[in-house]
Amino acid sequence: MSEMSAQSRGMRDVLLRNFRAMKGRAYPRIIGMNREPSWLFFDTLMPILSIAAFVYIYKAMNAPPQYIGYVIIGGAMTAYWMNVLWAMAAQLYWEKEIGNLQLYAIAPVSTMSVMAGMAVGGAFSTTIRAVSTILVGIMIFNVKFSMASPLLLTGIFVFTMIALYGMGMMFASLYMLWGREAWHISEVLTEPVYLLSGFYFPVKYLGTGVATIAALIPLTLGLDGMRQLLFPYAGDGFIPATHELLILTVLSAIFLVLAHYFLNYMETLAKKEGRLTLRWQ
C-alpha cells in the first residue's frame, strides 16, 4: 500500500513539474505582448496591407463577395503559420544560439512540456493578433459572416491549432537532427504553404490530387472547413466540414506522437552521446 502511495506521489510530482515547465515557457510569450504594445499595431497593420491587395484584385475581377471573406480569414491564419515556423519550428535552434538548449536537455522535465508551453503562449498571443486582423478587415471591407455551426467551427479551429503546433514541435526536433540552418528551411516552406493551403482562394481549385496532398498540412483543411461554415451558401468546400474535423483529429494525434518521438530521440542524443545531429551529418 505504501509502495503504491509512493508511486502515486511520484507521478503527481512529475506531472506538476512538467505543468510548471509548460507554464514557465508560456508566460513570457503571453506577457511579452504587454511589454511592447507597438508589436500588436504592426502585426495587425502589416497583414492588412497584403489582404487589401488581394481584396482589390478580386474586386477588379468582379469575384463573388465571399472571396473577400476568404482573403480576410486566410490573412489572419497566416499569423499562425508564421508563428509555427519561426517561434516553434526554429525555436530550438534559437535556444541553442543563446545557450538555453543545454538547460532544456538536463532539466528534470520532458522536452515536450517545454515545447507545449511555447505552443500555448504562441497560440494565445497569435490569436489576439489574428482576431484583430479579422476585426479590422471586417470594418474596412464590410464582410458579413453567416455562421452555420458554431460548435463544429470551434472544433475545427481547435484541432487545426493542435495539429499545426504539433507539426511545429516535430519540425523543431527535425531541424536540430538534420543539423541545418533553421531559417533556411523556414524560408523554403513559407510561400509553398501559402499556395497549397489556399490562404487566399478555395483549395479545391488546385484540383483533387494536389488538394489531397495539401491536406497533410493542417491549415489546408482548417481554412477550408472554417470557410465552409462561415460562408455556407458559397459551395466552395473541398470535402464536408465534418470529414475535415475527423481528419484534423487524426493529424493532431499523428503529429503529437511524432513530435514526442523525435524530441525524445534528440534528448537521448544530447544526454547520452553529447550531440544533436544524426551520424551521417
Is 7 among the domain residues? Answer: no
Q: Is 15 helix (H, G, I), strand (E, B) or coil?
A: helix
The whole-model pTM stands at 0.84
pLDDT level of residue 281 (50, 70, 90 thresholds):
very low
Domain range spanning residue 267?
21-273
Lowest mean pLDDT among 20-29, 63-72, 117-126, 180-189: 180-189
Q: pLDDT tens digits, residue range 114-151?
A: 888 888 888 887 888 888 888 888 888 888 888 778 89
Is 82 among the domain residues? Answer: yes
pLDDT level of residue 55 (50, 70, 90 thresholds):
confident
> Which stretch of DSSP H or E encloses residue 236?
none
The residue assigned the cell 458579413 is 144
Please tell me the total count of domains within the chain. Answer: 1
Residue scoring higher pLDDT (45 or 226): 226
- In this prediction, residue 4 carries a pLDDT of 57
- Cβ-proximal residues to 249 (8 Å cutoff; 6+ apart), any chain: 159
Is 46 among the domain residues? Answer: yes
Is 279 among the domain residues? Answer: no
Average pLDDT, the chain: 81
pLDDT level of residue 280 (50, 70, 90 thresholds):
very low
Is 98 among the domain residues? Answer: yes
Residue scoring higher pLDDT (165 or 267): 165
187, 158, 179: which is closest to 252 by C-alpha?
A: 158
- Cβ-proximal residues to 244 (8 Å cutoff; 6+ apart), any chain: 156, 221, 222, 224, 225, 238
